[in-house]
Amino acid sequence: MMPVMKRLCEDRVVIVTGAGRGIGREHALSLAKHGARVVVNDLGASTDGVGADTSPAQQVVAEIEAMGGQAVANGDSVSSFEGAQRLINTAIEVFGQLDVVVNNAGILRDRMLANMTEEEWDAVINVHLKGTFAPAHWAAAYWRDQSKAGKPVNGRIINTTSVSGIYGNPGQTNYGAAKAGIAAFTQIASMELARYGVTVNAVAPVALTRMTEGLGPAPETDEEREMRSPKWIAPIVTWLASEESSNVTGRVFEASGQTLAIAEGWVRGPRHAPVDDPTKLGSIVEELLAGARPNSGMNGDPGGWPQPQPQRQA
């Protein structure tokens, strides 16, 4: 007889934004397999945020229902404050409660800084950063009210950051700034919401999806493609959504087919007594830099690629 799989999220109600395709779809399916009732949110826009189509969300709902799970589609834009409120209300009205919000929706408008337009900046910041804030805000207000009413709360917010944000990648000042902001948002929100029984964590995924197909070299072998599958991201998100993770908050996890790691945040490095004369800073800064680790590259290692190459003036 085959062993029965332990279901980590039995009867928990989970919202997954951007769940119609790619990483979000894998999250929704994994959570449903583990017993969650899922609100599948997806505006159905293109990778640059244009258009709308609810059929991808409906297809994921159909997949979940075919496996015996419960799900409902929602097509609200998470970057709309009112839309985010409707999204949170959908979970409560359809399933009677809300336990987890997975903020996964995103778009790309990659461009070098000197060529980036205001619209390209605003669109990415709006979807990623406001699209994380708005659902989190309404969910936090719901859990705060539940806690104040004396009801037990075991809430979860799981945000999506990126190695492009926490380590940096040329051509993505808009995307990277938004994702770095989400990492900081995660840490601060975890401090604020702990009193209500809510944890807040983030995941930095690396996977080959519709959004990342044109970034970097394409996989050349089946093994490479398998290692870059979005399926590798869903396990940590599913575990973080469960009640088992109640003692983990304010952390950023890296997840891919190559690694599962915790990203360590900014730390104070070499230091010097305060200096009130800028003419004395040259040698002092050189000394500080000599003792400091270089910034991490996209692989997470100090000094990894890419690193800026400052141009000395003659």
**What's the domain range around 276?**
269-314
Helix boundaries (H) for 194-262: 222-227, 234-241
Separation CA 168–CA 266 (nearest Å): 13
Task: Say if CB 124 and CB 109 are below 8 A apart.
Answer: yes
pLDDT of residue 287: 97
- Do 181 and 304 belong together in one domain? no
pLDDT recorded at residue 305: 84
The answer on 287 and 165 residing in a single domain is no
**Residue 6 forms part of a structural domain:** no
The confidence score (pLDDT) of residue 219 equals: 54
In terms of domains, do 101 and 160 share one? Answer: yes
Q: What is the pLDDT of residue 1?
A: 41
Matching residue, tokens 């159909």? 62
In this structure, are 304 and 179 located in the same domain? no
Asked if residue 93 is part of any domain, the answer here is yes
Rounded to 10 degrees, what is the CA torsion of 26, 32, 37, 42?
A: 20
Q: Is residue 2 part of a domain?
A: no
d(CA 154, CA 28) in angstroms, rounded, equals 19
> What tokens appear for 132 in the block?
């994380």
Cis peptide bond upstream of 306, omega within 30: yes
pLDDT given for residue 171 in this prediction: 94
**Residue type present at position 115:** N
Q: What's the pLDDT at 210?
A: 47
Domain count, the chain: 2
Packing angle of the helix pair 81-95, 131-148 (nearest 10 deg): 50
Taking Cα atoms as reference points, which of 156, 198, 160, 155 lies closest to residue 182?
A: 160
Same domain, 112 and 182: yes
Q: Which residues of 223-259 are buried (b: 16+ CB within 10 A; e: fewer)?
A: eeeebbbbebbbbbbbbbbbeebeeebbbbbbbbbee
Hey, which residues are catalytic here? 175
Q: Answer yes or no: do 274 and 259 share one domain.
A: no
Give the per-residue pLDDT at 227: 75
Residue by residue, pLDDT tens for the chain (314 residues) are: 445 578 999 999 999 999 999 999 999 999 999 999 999 999 875 555 455 678 999 999 999 999 999 999 999 999 999 999 999 999 999 999 999 999 999 999 999 999 999 999 999 999 999 999 999 999 999 999 999 999 999 999 999 999 999 999 999 999 999 999 999 999 999 999 999 999 999 999 986 544 544 545 555 666 666 677 889 999 999 999 999 999 999 999 999 999 999 999 899 999 999 999 999 999 999 999 999 999 999 889 999 888 887 766 55
Containing H/E element for 55?
A: helix 55-66
Token pair of 77, please?
């834009």
Q: In 3D, which of 182, 176, 91 has the Cα closest to residue 133?
A: 182
If we measure between CA atoms, which residue out of 48, 269, 234, 254 comes closest to residue 166? Answer: 254
pLDDT at 208: 57
- At which of 248, 263, 278 does a domain end? 263
Regarding whether 208 and 142 lie in a shared domain, the answer is yes
255 and 295 assigned to the same domain: no
> Is residue 76 left, alpha or beta, with left meaning phi > 0 and alpha meaning psi from -120 to 50?
beta
Residue 126 CB coordination number (10 Å): 18
Contacts of 245 (CB under 8 A, 6+ apart): 156, 199, 201, 239
| Cα dihedral across residues 301, 246, 184, 26: positive or negative | positive
Q: Judge if 310 and 235 occupy the same domain.
A: no
pLDDT at 2: 42
Domain boundary among 228, 247, 263: 263
Same domain, 277 and 251: no
